């Protein structure tokens, strides 16, 4: 699920930026924006994975309540 969240965030950022640029409300240098979007997608994916792994470890520990 984490890759889906990360990709969805990236697509929303790119789509919103393109729309605003076409409407003349925003001027972007895509050589800077695209790497930033990819980094944001990676960060969201990693954070979701860390949270999922921590939750999984808590559920499978022997001290966890049934």
Whether residue 64 is contained in a domain is answered as no
pTM beyond 0.85: the answer is: no
Q: Would you list the DSSP string of the chain?
A: -HHHHHHHHHHHHHHHHHHHHHTTS----HHHHHHHHHHHHHHHHHHHHHHHHHHHHHHHSTTS--
Name, of 11-15, 18-22, 36-40, 49-53, the range with top average pLDDT: 18-22
Mean pLDDT across 37-64: 76
Q: Which residue has the higher pLDDT, 63 or 48?
A: 48
Question: Could you give the percent of the chain with pLDDT greater than 70?
Answer: 82
Domain extent at residue 47: 1-59
Whether residue 8 is contained in a domain is answered as yes
Between the alpha carbon of residue 46 and those of residues 37, 41, 52, the distances in Å are: 14, 9, 10
Whether residue 21 is contained in a domain is answered as yes
CB 13 within 8 A of CB 42: no
Q: How would residue 27 be classed by pLDDT, with cut points 50, 70 and 90?
A: very high
Whether residue 65 is contained in a domain is answered as no
Structural domain count of the chain: 1
Rg, the chain, Cα only: 18
């Amino acid at each position: 699920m984490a890759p889906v969240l990360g990709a969805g965030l990236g697509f929303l950022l790119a789509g919103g930026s393109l729309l605003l640029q076409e409407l003349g409300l925003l001027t972007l240098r895509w050589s800077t924006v695209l790497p930033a979007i990819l980094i944001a997608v990676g960060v969201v994916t990693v954070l979701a994975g860390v949270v999922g792994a921590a939750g999984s470890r808590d559920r499978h520990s022997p001290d966890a309540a049934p």
